[in-house]
A = this chain, B = another copy of it.
Amino acid sequence: MQNQTICKIVESEIDLDKLLEELTQNTTGAVVMFTGLVRGITERKNPHETIQLEYEAYQPMAEKMMQRVADEIRLKWSNIETIAIIQRIGRLNPGKPTVIIACSAAHRDTGVFDAARYGIDRLKEIVPVWKMEIGPEGDAWIEGDYIPKSND
């Protein structure tokens, strides 16, 4: 079976059980899935309640940059088998999954945890997706703080 890379922007719910099957090859013994969700209540920094988040993507570039994140993962952790990077866009309520980074490998000590961690960190740097907080007093774009470099 060949190592697969799944990178996509979606507008509907992400089915984790189906995704786990897609991540499973006949040599796979370990899968790490990171899920990011809309927090209803944020306590850190600027404590607030969230009514909804609206996600927007520059889709063709986002999918290309997700592929780049996956390529970087493979360069760093050559034992990773399947990689899935999925960002959901649209209006999402608190509690809803918005992003999944999942990596599979034969064994758990092959970097599969670090690879998933690296994947979500890099996604939040280079994948062109933005979120807007829908609030009782109006809407506000949330801005990141990473400025891409010439090797991104």
The residues of A with any CB-CB pair to B shorter than 8 Å are 15-17, 20-21, 24, 26-44, 94-95, 97, 106-108, 113-114, 116-117, 120
Contact = CB atoms under 8 A, between A and B. Distances in A.
Q: Give the number of copies in the complex.
A: 2
A117 to B, nearest CB: 5
Nearest to A30: B36
A27 B15 contact: no
A33 B30 contact: no
A36 B116 contact: no
Given A42-B106, A108-B117, 12 more contacts: A16-B16, A21-B95, A24-B37, A27-B42, A28-B95, A29-B38, A30-B34, A32-B33, A33-B35, A34-B108, A36-B108, A113-B117
